Amino acid sequence: MNRKLNALVVGTLVLSITACLFAGCGKKGRETDTAADTTAANTATADTAAATGVEEEAGKPFRAEEAFSVSMLFNDMPNYPLKDTWTVFDEIRKKTNVKLELTVVPSSDYEQKRSLLISTGDAPLIIPKTYPGSEVQFIPSGAILAVSDYVNLMPNYQKKVKDWNLQSDLKQIMQADGKYYVLPGLHEKPKYDYSLLVRKDILDKEGLEAPASWDEVYDVLKALKAKYPDIYPFSDRWKTDAITNVAAPTFGVSAGWGAGNGLRYDSGSDKFLFYPITEDYKNFLAYWNRLVKEGLMDPESFTQSDDQAKQKFINGKSFMISSNTQETLDIQNTMEKNLGKGKFELFHMPTPAGPKGNVVYSSRLENGIMISSKAKKDPHFEDIIRFVDWLWYSDEGQELTKWGVEGITFKKDSSGKRTLMPDITFNGMNPTGTKDLRKDFGYGSGVFVYGGSQELKMSMMNDLEISLQNSMADKEILPQAPPILFNEEQREQFNMKDTPLMDYVKAQTLKFMLGTEPLSNWDKFVAECKAKGADAIVDQANQIYVKTKDKLK
Amino acid sequence: MIKVSKSYRVFQVFNVIIMVSVVVLTFYPFLYLVAQSFSDESFVYAGKVTFYPKGFTTETYKEVMGEKFFWIGYKNTVVYTVVATAISLFMTTIFAYALSKKRLKGRTFLLGFTVFTMFFNGGIIPNYLIVRTLGMRNTIWAMVIPGAISTWNLMIMKTFFESMPAELEEAASVDGLSTYGILAKIVLPLSKPIMATMALFYAVGNWNSWFGAFLYLDDKELFPVTLYLRNIIAGAQQTDAASGMDTDKSTQIAATIKSASMVLTALPILCVYPFVQKYFVTGVMLGSVKS
């Protein structure tokens, strides 16, 4: 080959490869909003929004004057994957003149991809399915909008906050600068879901009543063990995190999924304390230890897989398990296939009362929406905010995303009761239908359906869910703790001490419950917690709380 | 007949026992998977399925194969694997061949540079930034180019090429072949085992990869079937926040659907493997011996 040509070809290749080495060096960072920007942009907060105009604008349909499209992150759940037969996006576009451009993310790794996209500045403008608390990591970089600054553009959202008295609940998501960064799903009333599932037919057979308190749970289990000594009457799933989370508030503490950072608010003294070292927590641990010691609770509950626990219950090797309403229906269906209908009866109990009373802890805020800071640069910015308000918070928008289109997917009778069209099935309604509301049409999906009025929520509940809500209606709802408004530096300091401390608490909790560590070593445990900084974090938390209390007014 | 000593016999017996146990341990999970995929769902939940299907049904397979995105994913996986393997094979071969020649200028630097990347990696975000800046995001190139050269395979190939007798190439060049000619006409035909091995390594790696797709692809039409599979297996398992009020906690994907999907995804590799097995065994050893 011609030497010159050869050299030219090789030289070009070398240059282009070297150039690629520098591809990664680009413009430094993305547009980061400084504090000055956000305050300058729009100063109205929810509290000072002009009252006039709020009432009349809520409930009005939204239609953009000029058609535009906005990008949105879409969580693709495998049980109802995104399909081209879905009509939900077309219907939204018909009503609002807004096209949603989806970035599809498999739900198995939704959080990771979301973090990646936000960190690299590629995030879509609307980021739904964000649990309050998970937006905190994105605040310091300025990648997400302080949405509380813009709620004056959201009449439907504001109306729901006002009607359902959610102002104090919203304080839960407030940050150190007095703003909040996620638009939470709003519930008129808390939804109850996790509780104990018990074999009612076995209880009836042994002449036992369904327990209403944790002491009664102990009695029932003891009676069952006497009659069935070869099995553990209670074998739990979710590594007991679900049931301890439900039980803990009735003992005055937190545990399981709700263990959190170890702080608990005492309204009497208006202070935070570290609950794992309190007497209440010792009693709580003693209760579970007693269940395990006397052979009433399967020690494998703390470690076995959900499938193993479910199998034991389905095969009659246990009579009590924790469950949520969907899982209960699932178990019911499986047992009907295995044992036959009528051969058994299940009861999804209201959560038992405890030493602190017939109380329950539940938040009325659920997962919601973040808006990327880049949205501010979009010429349709205000319309985007109004669109989000309509789609997720107006009655009309919520009905559309939950039920679909009247006349096509559902019909309404004169009293306002909604029923699905005969061929469409969902959540146990119209079991013979060939089309599924969610799988085939895309309505009722977890990307749009958050919260809502009690009426709307119950309209789609099956009998089991409805009876559970009703049976728990007279429980006393514990008040929410006020938030501690950490700034970024304080939060980092706090976490540095708190994370290893809570790891120790969780490990010891397991040991105490199982009995591998006797409760007589309680004082050692308390001392060790203090050595690991329990007092220090309580002091820090209280200091910050006292200093920032005024912001919460 | 050679007389075999007693101790050897004992060794044989133990050897066979251990090997059979290993076979059973590795084979049983797969057998269980296949049994699950052909069973009725309720038997699986009740834990009654062990070695063979109970309540034999092909419904699950029909359901899985009726999913449009399963086939789109499958097609994507095949395309990505073929293209990626071809590109990888090409690039690894020419790089390895060049590195194997001691007369290459800057050889030490290039070698060191390559080995360095075996230990240090930029991380997820820098890689993502490069892919995005080069405009590869959300295209097939994001699946095929970033992982094109595996340094491990590269080193094996380099060692192999070094082991080829230099006299052969000298004789060829005396006869008038250019560098490229030597590569094409002499070296490559003799490298069939190593090429087959590398092709297999790359193909299996690409077939199984889902992380790259997850990072760089946004459109569902471009997802490979492994990402689809991951979503089925891991996606419906999420436990939500403490107050668990998600309306999304619907019925989990049936274990039978998961197993049927897994079997279908692993099937092609399983079918191809026995045929390339001999290359695999000889090829791995080839790269390790310097003559």
Q: Across the interface, do A334 and B233 touch by the CB < 8 Å criterion?
A: no
In whole angstroms, what separates CA A550 from the centre of its chain?
28
Q: What are the domain boundaries of chain A?
A: 45-189+362-476
Same domain, yes or no: B186 and B253: yes
B230 occurs within a structural domain: yes
- Given this model, what pLDDT does residue A107 score? 84
pLDDT band at A53 (very low <50, low <70, confident <90, very high): very low
CATH of A45-189+362-476, one of 3.40.50.300, 3.90.25.10, 3.40.190.10, 3.30.230.10: 3.40.190.10
Closest to B46 (Cβ–Cβ): which among A26, A108, A338? Answer: A338
In whole angstroms, what separates CA B144 from the centre of its chain?
13
The length of chain A, given as a count of residues: 553
Rounded distance between C-alpha atoms, residue B84 and residue B149, angstroms: 10
Q: B207-242 as b/e, with b when 16 or more CB fall inside 10 Å?
A: bbbbebbbbbbbebebbbbbbbbbbbbebbeeebbb
- Given this model, what pLDDT does residue A244 score? 93
pLDDT tens string A478-530: 888 888 888 888 888 998 999 999 999 999 999 999 999 999 999 999 999 99
pLDDT tens string A322-357: 998 878 888 888 888 778 888 899 999 999 999 998
- Given this model, what pLDDT does residue A440 score? 87
B195 occurs within a structural domain: yes
- Given this model, what pLDDT does residue A150 score? 92
Closest to A258 (Cβ–Cβ): which among B242, B248, B255? Answer: B242
Residue B46, pLDDT above cutoff 80 = no
Residue A553, pLDDT above cutoff 70 = no
Same domain, yes or no: B198 and B227: yes
Rounded distance between C-alpha atoms, residue B258 and residue A453, angstroms: 36
Q: CA-nearest residue of chain A to B229? A: A78
Average pLDDT, chain A: 85
The radius of gyration of chain A's CA atoms, rounded to the nearest angstrom, is: 27
pLDDT band at A27 (very low <50, low <70, confident <90, very high): very low
pLDDT tens string B200-247: 889 988 998 899 899 999 888 899 999 888 888 776 554 433 233 333
pLDDT tens string B82-95: 999 999 999 999 99
Same domain, yes or no: B152 and B205: yes
pLDDT tens string A234-267: 999 999 999 999 999 999 999 998 888 899 998 8
Closest to A324 (Cβ–Cβ): which among B122, B129, B244? Answer: B244
Residues of A in contact with B213 (CB under 8 A): none
Q: Across the interface, do A116 and B242 touch by the CB < 8 Å criterion?
A: no
Give the DSSP letter of residue B159: H
CATH number for the domain harbouring residue B118:
1.10.3720.10
pLDDT band at A22 (very low <50, low <70, confident <90, very high): low
- Region A86-98: mean pLDDT is 91
- Given this model, what pLDDT does residue B284 score? 65
B266 burial (CB, 10 Å; 0-12 / 13-18 / 19+) is middle
CB A153 within 8 A of CB A183: no
- Given this model, what pLDDT does residue A36 score? 36
Give the DSSP letter of residue A394: S
Rounded distance between C-alpha atoms, residue A287 and residue A32, angstroms: 51
Residue holding tokens 């690991």?
A: A532
pLDDT band at A23 (very low <50, low <70, confident <90, very high): low
Q: Across the interface, do B230 and A444 touch by the CB < 8 Å criterion?
A: no
Q: Residue B266 corresponds to which tokens in the numbers above?
A: 């692993």
B267 occurs within a structural domain: yes
Rounded distance between C-alpha atoms, residue B247 and residue B262, angstroms: 28
Chain A to chain B Cβ contacts (< 8 Å):
148
- Region A58-75: mean pLDDT is 88
- Given this model, what pLDDT does residue B287 score? 57
Which of B104, B231, B238 should one mutate to test binding to chain A, selecting the residue with the greatest count of A CBs within 10 A? B231
Q: Is A461 left (phi over 0), alpha (psi -120 to 50) or beta?
A: beta
- Given this model, what pLDDT does residue A49 score? 39
Which residues lie closer than 8 Å to A422 by C-beta, 6 or more apart?
A: A430, A433
Same domain, yes or no: B36 and B143: no
Q: Is A218 left (phi over 0), alpha (psi -120 to 50) or beta?
A: alpha
Alpha-carbon distance A47 to nearest alpha carbon in chain B (angstroms): 27
Same domain, yes or no: B34 and B70: no
B16 occurs within a structural domain: yes
What are the DSSP calls for A307-351, one per residue? Answer: HHHHHHHHTTS-SEEEE-HHHHHHHHHHHHHHH-TTS--EEEPPP
Rounded distance between C-alpha atoms, residue A445 and residue A432, angstroms: 21
Segments forming the whole domain that contains residue B274: 66-238+246-286
Residue A288, pLDDT above cutoff 70 = yes
Q: Across the interface, do B45 and A193 touch by the CB < 8 Å criterion?
A: no
Same domain, yes or no: B251 and B275: yes
Q: CA-nearest residue of chain B to A2? A: B178
Rounded distance between C-alpha atoms, residue A204 and residue A21, angstroms: 74
Same domain, yes or no: B98 and B160: yes
Residue holding tokens 């009426």?
A: A455
Residue holding tokens 């407030």?
A: A174
Same domain, yes or no: B81 and B199: yes
Q: What percentage of chain B has pLDDT greater than the value 70?
A: 89
Rounded distance between C-alpha atoms, residue A424 and residue A441, angstroms: 10
- Given this model, what pLDDT does residue A59 score? 79
Q: Across the interface, do A24 and B214 touch by the CB < 8 Å criterion?
A: no
Alpha-carbon distance B234 to nearest alpha carbon in chain A (angstroms): 5
- Three-state SS for A396-451 is HHHHHHHHCCECCCEEECCCCCEEECCCEEECCECCCCCEEHHHHHCCCCCCCCCC
Domains identified in chain B, total number: 2
- Region A23-49: mean pLDDT is 41
Dihedral sign of CA atoms B74, B79, B82, B88 in order: negative
Q: Across the interface, do B233 and A108 touch by the CB < 8 Å criterion?
A: yes
Interface pTM, i.e. ipTM: 0.77
Residue A86, pLDDT above cutoff 80 = yes
B291 occurs within a structural domain: no
Between the alpha carbon of residue B153 and those of residues A233, A502, B114, B203, B269, the distances in Å are: 56, 45, 12, 12, 19
The residue from B57, B82, B98 where one domain ends is B57
Angle at A529 between CA A523 and CA A534, to 5 degrees: 130
CB B217 within 8 A of CB B138: yes
Q: Which amino acid is at A548?
A: T
Residue A5, pLDDT above cutoff 80 = no
Rounded distance between C-alpha atoms, residue A155 and residue A53, angstroms: 8
Rounded distance between C-alpha atoms, residue B193 and residue B278, angstroms: 9
Average pLDDT, chain B: 84
Lowest mean pLDDT among A34-43, A89-98, A353-362, B141-150: A34-43
Same domain, yes or no: B135 and B252: yes
Residues of A in contact with B245 (CB under 8 A): 185, 187, 190-191, 193, 362-363, 366, 451
B286 or A443, greater pLDDT:
A443
Q: What percentage of chain A has pLDDT greater than the value 70?
A: 93
Q: Across the interface, do B251 and A79 touch by the CB < 8 Å criterion?
A: yes
